[in-house]
Structure 1
């Protein structure tokens, strides 16, 4: 056998045959199943390569004498084979856990055979879940390659956001309400919106004397600062003040912002958020109440979502509202250097300078 395959070991050739049998496109109808998943072309091609046993894991490269070390490139201290990268890698599982934490149910499998068999079963009734899983693997592998070539790794929540951005479409009805699941995205710190989205954090402050302030900050999917505002006023009711803060957003929305695929508006007043959410007709996203419908900018964007944010996740907006008790201000990215040092520090602390995959 080695005579016909110079430079190849018997064990390496045997292992390759095992893989080819496991991923046989003909015997297991793998390619036919893959075609029915309606994945993005890059993701589908990646899984097609997997079915042809042509993903260059470290074990794959070692068996071909192209690499000495077959351990996981991400430092798992385990052999990097197909089962590891698709099922076992702790960084891959971190992405799944991030999505599960957002309320999106994604299964975790105990072996490669179990994974493939269950994905085929799940795809019959829940195509969206399988699309997400396949896309997670695609982005996880791209992230792994960045590390292997000495580049900066993306945190799991950024990868998870990218996965959602790619898989949210009309062929995935199970993801049509994905945004409501982001309610639980973080209890500790601010999180960026999905890829090509914008997040607006809003807050209000009210003193016993009636002196009040509202404020907000606009940021993109990487946490980059877009603009911030705060307004000084007199008021008496914190709920109405919080609602007024959200309604004031329309005054700061620019025409070029409509290029964002979606907008998330966050406030730490759960009663106001619940009021706005309840004013949306179920599954239609149409405002029932004239006050909200006429005053907000929901029709300016493809998708607008209103979420409750924990206080720890709303620090910058809270600071804006507090500073509004003294004066009204407006800053955009061109005047970032003029922003008060404390606010600039908070924005930079929550900034995530990571590239988003195309």
Structure 2
């Protein structure tokens, strides 16, 4: 189902699967697309069940399962009539084991060499340790005496640096207990175990660098396929006996492969000439690998130009597909215009600092969005420092982004959410007479919980005439949570009493 969703056509008909499923499931930083394989996720989810079995010995499930099968889910049992529940727990335990370490008490349950109790790995995985141990020293309890480390015994088997590390480990007074190695990672256990299956894959440094170009998702996905040579060019399709001719459909008179699609096509050169006339000069390359090397350099020095070139290749390919399927190939002038608008709109590029307060195209997607005509927008924000000094600020702008009015206020407080509420309430204290002539006001904040709180109050309790005599009022989330004002038009239906 997942493969069909990605590769099948919009009308439901079958299409070619260009990339293997396991490659799609690799993380993005490993060269994949980070998709979730339900089959591969099964064992990590079972590991979570195994951890619940180990970590909750007083639960009813633990008592019932342990009474029949025992407490050690790592024990090699020769029985063939194991219950399904026990089999699931044993599979999960096998994947859970590398992520557990022992919390030391008596040491009677801990194997000194094969169990993890020192840092995050067992001694057999360390480069060296002092001497071969006899059977009396296999258990860690042989190095503990009267609830403390036996330093003389440790010095017999370990070097001085390792003894210092071992001696710094606290010995608890209860019993040996397992704990997670990565307790404070902020990620779920299943996620950690799932990612461990990709540790042998090398990092995709190209992806890491090109991420700085801030490409649109479709553009970024196209370049990912281009690097893997899986776009349906005529050369690609001819190798699979799907077309007879491998030349470029634009009449370039040469083989249409990934090098031609990315750097050699005459259409690309024509578009680059228009962009050069507008002040955006781009280099020409010999092949795709040379192009990618240059894009990696641009990612640090001039990412906007790199974004521009990637967009040129993407839109040129889309126009080529229209031509191949009976449509019309767009002119180079039209493509250059679309390339420039798309790249500027998707990238925070301040091309003109003289008109900083105007509604500029290059800023709308990542910064301030203008309100509708004849409306006013009030941007509010608040802050609380460690010493309880708090501050609020409000800025009013019109539909063209022009500055109207601003004010700030300082106070003492401890809760940032309550200060955000006070900042919105302060808007009503600073309403000017000339603002009443506006069709409405949008109050924008970066705290979604506070916004929802006010929307609930408006919908349930407030009366239309009681809101500062405004004919229309609405609240919206910050642009950091949604970049387009139009995306919230549906939410305005909730405020039908006021709009």
With the shorter chain as reference, the TM-score category is: 0.3 to 0.5
Which has the higher Rg, Structure 1 or Structure 2?
2
Q: Which has the bigger relative contact order, CA under 8 A and spacing at least 6? A: 1
TM-score, normalisation: structure 2: 0.31
TM-score, normalisation: structure 1: 0.42
